[in-house]
Structure 1
Amino acid sequence: MPRVRRVRSEAFLTLALLNIFVLIAGFAALDVIEARPLPAVPHPVVNAEGAAAAEPASSSPADPERIAAVLDDPMAESGLAEGLSAFVADGATGAALYERSPDVPAIPASTTKIATAIAVLDVVGPDHVLTTTAHFDAERGMVVLRGAGDATLTTTVDPGAYPRVATLEELAEGVAAALAEEGVDTVSVGYDDSLFTGPDTGPSWKPGYITEGSTASVHALMHDSGRISRDTSVRVPDPPRATADEFAKRLKEAGLAVEGDPAEATAQGDPIASVDSPPMTALVEHMMLASDNNMAEALGRVAALETGGEGSFAGGAEATHRVMESYGIEDVELADNSGLSPENRITPRALVEMVRVAADRADLHAAVSGLPTSNSTGTLGNRYTEGTAVNDAAGLVRGKTGTLNDVSALAGTVHDAEGNMFVFAFVANSPGVQGFQLDPLAAALARCGCS
């Protein structure tokens, strides 16, 4: 499999170079939607000289006994003797280097999003966009807004954001221009949220997930991931209606008179205006960096609909299972695509295999380029920070985090003092576990001269 190994090596080399770039520049360029709600705001990486001085990969393979030796103490000191599982593999060859109950299914929390990322990229491709449309019902004089699952849809243009996201302002201006040609200056507003079906909260989701701001209820039509504003985690009770209300405001600003309040309606015929999301690569990177639960559920449904399934929790899970099976990845059993459901089960070995599969193929690379970086980006931006015992691994660890009550997980890549790249997964299903308890394990791999 020489080509596969070459592609994977190039992908991991790219990750290593990105790590070093973060260390030199002091900021992260991978926070792809910097101005969006609760973004993965980068923090400067400090005191990480080891990463900047990393040598090319050793010609000698890593020694599993040395890997076990460097992990023994931090595992013993973690306080997670029960419920801790792990798998570490060589990044270049995939050879197993460390195993601790690697095939025992565990609750993965948000590391589930690695599977979601691979599934949607595999099904629709990296350039696919989600198109929010506006339709005109001439008989009723109604403009109907139809959602397509773009949770990054927002209200107004932010000229500093990259990539540029779709806005209700731009859509309203397109509608106003189209209706002006028809001599229409007064409309009512309808909204169509019918693309997604089934329950709007996931299997065994706690009611607190929404009230505490972890997610909004799941809908095809929403803006800013259902938040009441870009700079808060508080969610609106009815995301489709809130988006329709904002759209009505933008139509007025665009010069149309709007009668009455928005009402549920069915979009019919061709759209008179539309706005596209950033490409799927950017959506996936945003989902991974910010651990955006609404984006994850939307992307699972996008994969399901593209393959003829239902745009529901069950449909998204089924589509993801099929993609995992197509890559020969076993032991992935999902009830949702965000990882909020405690019914999900994934083994550490499967998580490592997912990362390696994503590195094998250029069309799946967003699943690894979107991994947060320690003390720099996303959900690892406030971990491995200055003053902690693991700060020497700042910039060296790239991983998807996962956190629920009594669940913590970390899966991704790390390179050691000799430049070897390891792919790892640490999962703890233990009472009271906190995410930082897993950080010393990845840091131990970063310090290792394990050849």
Structure 2
Amino acid sequence: MRHDRVWALLTLALLNVFVLTTGLVARDVIAARPPETVPFPVADAETVPLPAAADAATVDPARLADKLDDPMALSGIGEGLSAYVVDAETHQELYARDESTGVVPASTTKVVTAVAVLHSVGPDARITTEVVQGAAPGEVVLVGAGDTTLTETADPDRYPRLASLEELAADTADALEAAGVTSVRVGYDDSAYSGEALAPGWKQGYIDEGSTAAVHALMLDGGRIDRDDKYSSRVDDPPLAAAEAFARQLSRAGVTVEGTPRPAEAADDAALLADAASPTISALVEWMMTHSENNIAEALARQTALARGMEPSFGGGAEATHAVMAELGVEGVRVSDGSGLSVENRISAEALVELLLLASDPERPELYSTLSGLPTARATGSLAYRYTPDGGAAAGAGVVRAKTGTLNGVSALTGTAYDADGRLLVFAFVANDPAATGTALDLFAAALAECGCS
């Protein structure tokens, strides 16, 4: 069984090989481009062997501790550092420092959110946005269900394929034409969620800086004004902006839209005119993990709550998540949100590692996208521009895969790394200290990669 678990983790390594090989082929092309416009990919790292962890020499904990001593001492981080490292195959504890202490985890909270939603809802479920007949004659209602990736225009070449208002409006227009309706008023229903739009421990600055939008069941592109800019300014009223875009697409589909969209409550038995499904939960989890998407995280936490019969709110999501952790036997997790923006969250380094090990369990294939969504150092997502050749963490490029986390005075990193002998390790480093930086934690992960500690 342990060997099966290792192979589940090793499957992720194939992605690294692909990135490394592709990068090496493209090296000359990349070098010819203006350096200020092209991020240097993981091609700058040397290709590394990826033997099965079971065939590589086991790690001596004392030697690993010696390897971590210098970067930890030089980091300037005092008592606020938690760390936990285990062998991926044997689960042997290799390094521990305040590993059971609950600390502010920042966006590594998304590991918890991923496991909770995959366990409760399943990887193949989708979130469906609907258009239904309104209460008044000639009214249609756009009903949000929490798909924050809903977008206005279709892009068939994008992965994952997103639900679009363009296609939803075209299907609605077909249904209206079949019923002999040519003119409608548009209402919109954002009532699927309850509670506050901002979590306990959130700051208004998170919205102002573009880290998140206020949480709503109906929004486009995470509430962004520019859907292609992760930190774009957010619209003031996400549900209204979505309804206006839907009305615009209805008009383009040949339906006369009267007036401006207004809030409306869809009846439970309202006739369905059209619907559009989000990417699968597994695809949403991967997107959330790779790019640290906060609004997707909050949507997934509410999906967990709904699946367990709890309120789709921050409180309900937290309650449902805690229930999942209890079912899985994972201690050391207390959350107030799904994204990790809340400074009230407390998760131990040991819990983060335990969750990643659960996600690699061949008996739990539904949890796997928690791992497949981990960013790869110097290649993808939130680690794409870290582990550069001119920094001290270059040894981790291509062999470290980890979820990042950053708040003021908080930095976190949890994932997997191959050591110099090819042994696969699972780790979590969390710093709650004014000196906490992602750069410091990258050095810790790179020390794992450099360690020939057998």
TM-score (norm 1): 0.94
Deviation at residue 137 of structure 1 after TM alignment = 2.1
Deviation at residue 124 of structure 1 after TM alignment = 0.9
Superposition map of 1:48-67 within 5 A: 48-49=45-46, 51-57=47-53, 58-67=55-64
Bigger drift between 356-365 and 55-64 goes to 55-64
Contact 2:71 2:440 in 1 (8 A): no
- Kindly provide the amino acid, as one letter, of the partner of residue 248 in structure 2: K
| Aligned position for 1:389 | 392
Superposition map of 1:31-110 within 5 A: 44-49=41-46, 51-57=47-53, 58-110=55-107
Deviation at residue 144 of structure 1 after TM alignment = 0.3
Deviation at residue 282 of structure 1 after TM alignment = 0.5
Distance in 1 between residues matched to 2:91 and 2:67, nearest whole Å:
20
Contact 1:42 1:378 in 2 (8 A): no
Question: The residue matched to 1:283 in structure 2 has which SS?
Answer: helix
Distance in 1 between residues matched to 2:49 and 2:135, nearest whole Å:
66
Contact 2:152 2:164 in 1 (8 A): yes
Contact 1:126 1:281 in 2 (8 A): yes
Deviation at residue 142 of structure 1 after TM alignment = 1.0
Deviation at residue 159 of structure 1 after TM alignment = 2.5
Distance in 2 between residues matched to 1:123 and 1:26, nearest whole Å:
38
Distance in 2 between residues matched to 1:77 and 1:11, nearest whole Å:
35
- Kindly provide the amino acid, as one letter, of the partner of residue 272 in structure 2: P
Distance in 2 between residues matched to 1:347 and 1:335, nearest whole Å:
15
Contact 1:384 1:390 in 2 (8 A): yes
Distance in 2 between residues matched to 1:130 and 1:73, nearest whole Å:
48
| Aligned position for 1:316 | 317
Bigger drift between 415-424 and 380-389 goes to 380-389
Deviation at residue 231 of structure 1 after TM alignment = 2.6
Deviation at residue 138 of structure 1 after TM alignment = 6.4
Superposition map of 1:166-315 within 5 A: 166-232=163-229, 233-268=232-267, 269-315=270-316
Distance in 1 between residues matched to 2:279 and 2:271, nearest whole Å:
22
Superposition map of 1:285-364 within 5 A: 285-360=286-361, 361-364=364-367
Distance in 2 between residues matched to 1:278 and 1:69, nearest whole Å:
45
Distance in 2 between residues matched to 1:124 and 1:183, nearest whole Å:
39
Question: The residue matched to 1:69 in structure 2 has which SS?
Answer: helix
Q: Is residue 2:418 matched to residue 1:415?
A: yes
Question: The residue matched to 2:403 in structure 1 has which SS?
Answer: strand
Contact 1:42 1:376 in 2 (8 A): no
CA deviation vs aligned residue, 1:355-375 (integer Å, no higher than 9, x gap): 101111211000010001101
Question: The residue matched to 1:294 in structure 2 has which SS?
Answer: helix
Deviation at residue 166 of structure 1 after TM alignment = 0.3
- Kindly provide the amino acid, as one letter, of the partner of residue 267 in structure 1: A
Deviation at residue 95 of structure 1 after TM alignment = 1.2
Give percent identity, aligned residues only. Answer: 56
1:446 pairs with one of 437, 441, 449 = 449
TM-score (norm 2): 0.93
CA deviation vs aligned residue, 1:229-272 (integer Å, no higher than 9, x gap): 21332101111111001111000000001111111101221321
Question: The residue matched to 2:149 in structure 1 has which SS?
Answer: coil
Deviation above 4 Å: which 4+ runs of structure 1? none
Question: The residue matched to 1:46 in structure 2 has which SS?
Answer: helix
Distance in 1 between residues matched to 2:290 and 2:39, nearest whole Å:
10
CA deviation vs aligned residue, 1:308-365 (integer Å, no higher than 9, x gap): 0000001111111111111110010001111000000000000000110111121100
Deviation at residue 26 of structure 1 after TM alignment = 2.6
Distance in 1 between residues matched to 2:414 and 2:403, nearest whole Å:
5
2:438 pairs with one of 424, 435, 444 = 435
Contact 2:7 2:52 in 1 (8 A): no
Deviation at residue 42 of structure 1 after TM alignment = 8.4
Bigger drift between 285-294 and 389-398 goes to 389-398
Deviation at residue 10 of structure 1 after TM alignment = 1.7
Report the CA distance shift for 1:43/1:188 in structure 2 as closer, same or farther (over 3 A).
Answer: farther
| Aligned position for 1:38 | none
- Kindly provide the amino acid, as one letter, of the partner of residue 247 in structure 2: A
Contact 1:374 1:384 in 2 (8 A): yes
CA deviation vs aligned residue, 1:249-305 (integer Å, no higher than 9, x gap): 000000001111111101221321001111111000001111111000010001101
Structure 1 portions without partners, runs of 5+? 28-40
Distance in 2 between residues matched to 1:382 and 1:155, nearest whole Å:
30
| Aligned position for 1:35 | none
Contact 1:24 1:52 in 2 (8 A): no
Q: Aligned pairs, how many?
A: 434
- Kindly provide the amino acid, as one letter, of the partner of residue 118 in structure 1: V
CA deviation vs aligned residue, 1:104-128 (integer Å, no higher than 9, x gap): 1100000000000001011111100
- Kindly provide the amino acid, as one letter, of the partner of residue 354 in structure 2: E
Question: The residue matched to 1:26 in structure 2 has which SS?
Answer: helix
Structure 2 portions without partners, runs of 5+? 25-37
Question: The residue matched to 2:356 in structure 1 has which SS?
Answer: helix
Q: Is residue 2:133 matched to residue 1:136?
A: yes
Question: The residue matched to 2:167 in structure 1 has which SS?
Answer: helix
Distance in 2 between residues matched to 1:10 and 1:83, nearest whole Å:
34
Distance in 2 between residues matched to 1:327 and 1:61, nearest whole Å:
28
- Kindly provide the amino acid, as one letter, of the partner of residue 311 in structure 1: P
- Kindly provide the amino acid, as one letter, of the partner of residue 334 in structure 1: V
Deviation at residue 11 of structure 1 after TM alignment = 1.3
Contact 1:54 1:417 in 2 (8 A): no
